[in-house]
Structure 1
Amino acid sequence: MHIEILGTVSVTVGGHEREIRANKVRAMFATLALEPGRAISHLELADELWSGQPLGNVHNALQAHAARLRKILDGPSQERADGTVLRAVHNGYVLDIPRESVDGNRFLDLAARGSAALRRDPYRALELLESGLRLWRGPALLDAGDGLRCRAAAALFDERRLTMWEDLITARLAVGDVRQAAAELRRLVAQHPLNEHFCAQLMMALYRSGRQGEALTLYHRTRHRLDEELGVQPGLPLQQRYAEILAQDPALTLTGVSRPSAIGQIA
């Protein structure tokens, strides 16, 4: 079974994608998929699906949704002694699947491994981070409803995705792939104009491309926007990047990183 939450919520069983049409059933499935192997109580599920709205019989409503979900998840390819991956437990339900069956968990694992590899092996970091970002198909948990748990998870995934892009650009700059870094950063800066880290990275990429004037112009444009929209000045790291470029600091010059003779496969 493969579950995707980095975009619309979907599930593939035995190589075939199963459609989850009902909104509440999909929201229940997404909530359980966020923490596979952990029992989610009836109360937690009710809060997520109905956001505190009064409901006659929560237990019966959840039982009906669970029955519909089992019909979607269980099939001839499910070789389990108990016959289902969705188990009823005391006062709740658990989605009994491996953690790695959910693309969101694979993404978080790749993000952590890529970040850890940045300093010692930026080429390896590139492989890991690119693999993680390729898992995305749109905004996380796009059709999982408006429940607090799924919305909070979506926000955390989106934040981690931005951090992963920062790490990916750092790796690109470390290996000297300035052109690709600059192309990606232009898009990221356009999408997140108040993100000072992306601005500092693009300034670096422009400077290393021999476009010092563009790097300085970008700083002033960002400074003006921060002042106009938020009433603040750039943070110290961005100010330092501006001063380094003005001074043509030798530390901005790429020192070069050798590619290892053998790069491990992504597991």
Structure 2
Amino acid sequence: MGSSKVRTMLAVLALEAGQAVSHTDLADELWSGDTVRNPRNAMQAHATRVRRVLKGEGGRCGSETTVLRSVPNGYVLDVPREHIDGHRFLDLASQAATTLSDAPEQALRLLDSALLLWRGPALLDAGDGLRCRSAARLFEERRLSALADQVRARIMLGDHARAIAELHRLVAQFPLREHFCDLLMLALYQVGRQGDALEQFRLARQRLDEELGIRPGELLQRRHAEILAQDPALAHAGLV
């Protein structure tokens, strides 16, 4: 799709798959407060381009009906929620979170499927409107939660080597996300690397002090104290 407005319109409608989005909300997203002489006509033109794209991708329903429908005062992308990768990701990650404590193997399969749907930052080329930017932040937060759940499942299943390797990468990529450091400390301790676990706490404390002028949060401080005390509960811990 060459037009940024076409990408934005399709993204907004996909975020609300099966639900009508009003002309007003679409105009706010497409033009972000800019004055447009005739937004309704401009929107109709963009909708025509969206339909053309969807037809080219096999988006026809029946003989002459496209999945993008005009409704009173708006448009609706008439597709099931599970046909949108973003919604599939959210649903799979949510299912995994509810099964993690009782069925970590099943949760890991769900999380692997969810994270395989990612091909880069969410809604990267969908414009700067409030809806798309808010949705992008939500997707990124859920992605990080899913990554944490994924390594947590590996720890619970005894796959510490892979969990530790992944957590080292995540800590390096997101140095201020204390949750990843906490999981890394736990995994290291469980394989007998108490000194390395404590070193991770020291590094996290140093980063937080240098970059933000703060101390580690309660989560890391509690894990640090448990490791120093060699708390027996740590041997089988997998959930915070």
Could you say which TM-score interval applies, normalised by the shorter chain? over 0.9
Aligned 1:1-267 pairs, distance under 5 A: 20-74=1-55, 78-80=60-62, 83-254=65-236
* Secondary structure, aligned partner of 1:40: strand
1:88-139: per-residue Cα shift (whole Å, max 9, x none)? 1111111111111100111011001100111111111111111101110000
Q: Distance in 1 between matches of 2:193 and 2:33?
A: 56
8 Å contact from structure 2 (residues 51, 68) kept in 1: yes
Which structure exhibits the higher relative contact order, with contacts defined as CA atoms closer than 8 Å and separated by 6 or more residues?
1
**CA RMSD across the alignment:** 1.6
- Comparing both structures, which one devotes a greater share of its residues to helix? 2
- Cα gap change, 1:159/1:22 in structure 2, threshold over 3 Å: closer, same or farther? same
Alpha-carbon distance change, 122 to 66 in structure 1, aligned in 2, over 3 angstroms: same
For structure 2, which runs of at least 5 residues remain unmatched after alignment? none
Residue segments in structure 1 that go unaligned for 5+ positions in a row: 1-19, 257-267
Provide TM-score, normalisation by structure 1: 0.85
Residues 110 and 131 of structure 1 are in contact (CA less than 8 Å); yes or no, is this contact kept in structure 2? yes
Q: Which letter maps to 2:36?
A: L
Deviating runs (4+, > 4 A) in structure 1? none
Identity %: 60
Contact kept in structure 1, 2:61 and 2:67, CA below 8 Å: no
**One-letter amino acid matched to 2:167:** L
Q: Specify whether residues 37 and 189 from structure 1 end up closer, same or farther in structure 2 by C-alpha distance, changes over 3 A only.
A: same
Letter of the structure 2 residue corresponding to residue 203 of structure 1: M
CA contact (8 A) 2:20 2:74 kept: yes
User: Which residue matches 1:262?
Assistant: none
Q: Are the counterparts in 2 of residues 36 and 95 from structure 1 also a CA contact under 8 Å?
A: yes
Indicate the SS of the match to 2:126.
coil
